[in-house]
């Protein structure tokens, strides 16, 4: 039924990533998540989405057509 409606099913798939954080940052995120009644993963996903939105609005988000220079990313 979704295919008939011409909906891209890939938009509904979530990707899982691993992130290594300093203990102090992880502790702060855990406290924040608990205070909001969220899981740590849910808070992290929300904060990443918010950061991307803000970067796009400010013009800091890279254009997909521009190749990324690996030396600048580091």
Q: Which tens digits make up the pLDDT trace of 58-68?
A: 988 887 766 66
Indicate the pTM of the whole model: 0.65
CA–CA gap between residue 33 and residue 43 (Å, rounded): 6
Beta-carbon contacts of residue 33 (< 8 Å; ≥ 6 apart): 39, 40, 42, 43
Q: Which tens digits make up the pLDDT trace of 2-12?
A: 556 677 766 77
Host H or E run for residue 35: helix 23-36
User: Domain ranges in the chain?
Assistant: 15-61
Domain 15-61 top-level CATH class: mainly alpha
Question: What pLDDT shows up at residue 5?
Answer: 67
């Amino acid at each position: 039924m979704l295919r008939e409606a011409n909906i891209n099913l890939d938009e509904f798939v979530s990707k899982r990533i691993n992130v290594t954080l300093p203990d102090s940052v992880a502790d702060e995120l855990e406290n924040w998540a608990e205070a909001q009644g969220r899981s740590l993963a849910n808070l992290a996903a929300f904060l990443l989405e918010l950061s991307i939105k803000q970067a796009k609005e400010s013009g800091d988000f890279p254009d997909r057509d521009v190749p990324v220079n690996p030396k600048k990313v580091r």
